[in-house]
Amino acid sequence: MALHKDSYVLLNDGNKMPVIGYGTYAPQKVPKSLAEEGTKVAIDVGYRHIDAAFMYQNEVEVGRAIREKIADGTVKREDLFYTGKLWSNFHTPERVRHGLEKSLEDLQLDYMDLFIIHTPFELKPGDDPFPVDENGKFLYHNTDLRDTWKAMEALKEAGLVKSIGVSNFNKTQLEWILSMPGLKYKPVCNQVECHLYLNQSKLLEFCKSKDIVLVGYSVLGSSRDENWIDQNSPVLLEDPVLNAIAKKHNRTPAQVAMRYQLQRGVVVLAKSFTPARIKQNFQLFDFQLNSEEMETLNGVDKNMRYLDLKPFADHPKYPFADEY
């Protein structure tokens, strides 16, 4: 069926996820008020899927925007799909519910549509989201992810979240959960970096074979946050092949980069705090890439990750050392 602005994917637990999500992460120096303004614009122009996280420290603002758009009658709560994330120092089972409740309190919402484990690697439990030792080295912890998952299942059963999933998991880490004795609910999604330079074809195929939705982040090439991303990496939206196809369709490179993922069955997140771009990035339903263009864009892949999370590379659960 043709994609349209209200298209969704059916998750393996029966819930529905809109195919385009509004991303809200911005580098630390950017005022959080822009996430609030952006979320309101996004809802006004038609986005119904909003992606944020405890770690982004923006849930107060994003929650306020959501509640304002409900209060002014633009949307009902049940029209929206909100994704939050369990930060990495909340993996111990007794802290999982606490992690969710902190977010719900910031958001001033009663439930989340989707709650996902933000990263497979765990940091030392405590108040500091980035705990370090006296030499500045991150302090790790190593709870069995299956115990964390059981605590996530309990949140779904308690009605605090509608669906549960994971993020930044590799194939082996997904298999740990899928093969777990007594598994009640499979992850509905794996949210991972996915764009023209890292098209994740193998992980996408694996996820599809297990009825897990691949949700792509940094589809536009990321915000190039200097704290996390190599500033010498190529700028995705300047790619010549992408630009040539965009020109042919009289579209922007961002629209083609997003449409490419939608046609592959990837749910797409895109962040912008610029109202005109927020609107433009949602206008993806009145053009289509043909199979030759899709093939050409497949050929742009470089297996290149913007967010390689290298500071955690020596963690036993660092996800990006495996092929996929």
Ligand X SMILES: NC(=O)c1ccc[n+]([C@@H]2O[C@H](COP(=O)([O-])OP(=O)(O)OC[C@H]3O[C@@H](n4cnc5c(N)ncnc54)[C@H](OP(=O)(O)O)[C@@H]3O)[C@@H](O)[C@H]2O)c1
Window contacting ligand X (CB under 6 A); options: 63-71, 243-251, 264-272, 290-298 = 264-272
- Angle at the Cα of 271 from the Cα atoms of 90 and 60, rounded to 5 degrees: 50
Task: Using CB under 6 A, pick the residue from 254, 256, 266, 284 that binds ligand X.
Answer: 254
Name which position in 58, 89, 261, 272 contacts ligand X (CB under 6 A): 272
Phi/psi for 42 (5° steps) reads: -60, -45
The answer to whether the annotation marks 91 as part of a ligand binding site is no
Which residue in the set 171, 249, 277, 279 belongs to the binding site for ligand X (CB under 6 A)?
Answer: 277
Least CB distance from residue 153 to ligand X, whole Å? Answer: 20
Smallest separation, CB 215 to ligand X (Å): 8
Q: Which of 195, 213, 187, 207 is nearest to 324 (CA)?
A: 207
In a 3-state reduction of DSSP, which class is residue 226? coil
Collapsed DSSP state (helix, strand, coil) of residue 88: coil
Among 170, 190, 191, 200, binds ligand X (CB under 6 A): 191
Identity of the residue, 89 or 223, whose beta carbon is nearer to ligand X in the bound complex: 223
Positions 101 through 160 that interact with ligand X (CB under 6 A): 118
User: How many residues in total does the chain contain?
Assistant: 324
Of 48, 49, 50, 20, which is closest to residue 36 (Cα–Cα)?
50
Binding region for ligand X (CB under 6 A) out of 143-151, 269-277, 294-302, 315-323? 269-277
> Between residues 184 and 304, which has the closer beta carbon with respect to ligand X?
304
d(CA 256, CA 249): 9
Beta bridge partners of 9: 17
Stretch that binds ligand X, among 139-147, 180-188, 199-207, 211-219 (CB under 6 A): 211-219
Residue 43, Cβ neighbours under 10 Å: how many?
23
Q: Which of 75, 160, 237, 241 binds ligand X (CB under 6 A)?
A: 237
Q: Which residues have a Cβ under 8 Å from the Cβ of 204 and sit 6 or more positions away?
A: 194, 214, 264, 265, 266
Which positions are catalytic? 56
Asked if residues 312 and 124 have their Cβ atoms less than 8 Å apart, the reply is: no
Q: Is 88 in the site for ligand X (CB under 6 A)?
A: no
CB of 282 to ligand X, least distance (A): 10
Residues in contact with ligand X, shown as a per-residue x/- string from 165 to 184 under the rule CB under 6 A: --xx----------------
Among left, alpha and beta (phi > 0; psi -120 to 50; other), residue 221 is left
Interacting residue with ligand X among 148, 170, 173, 281 (CB under 6 A): 281
45 near ligand X, judged by CB under 6 A: no
CB atoms within 10 A of CB 286: 8
In the complex, minimum distance from the CB of residue 182 to ligand X, in angstroms, rounded to a whole number: 27
- Classify residue 196 as left (phi > 0), alpha (psi -120 to 50) or beta: alpha
* Dist CA 123 CA 139 (whole Å): 6
- Given the rule CB under 6 A, which of 10-18, 72-80, 107-115, 268-276 is the region that contacts ligand X? 268-276
Decide if residue 63 touches ligand X (CB under 6 A).
no
How many Cα atoms are found within 13 Å in the side-chain-facing hemisphere of 28? 4
Residue numbers at the binding site for ligand X (CB under 6 A): 23-25, 51, 118, 167-168, 191, 217-223, 237, 252, 254, 269-274, 277, 280-281, 307
Q: Residues annotated as binding site for substrate?
A: 118
Instruction: Could you list the residues known to form a binding site, using ranges.
Output: 118
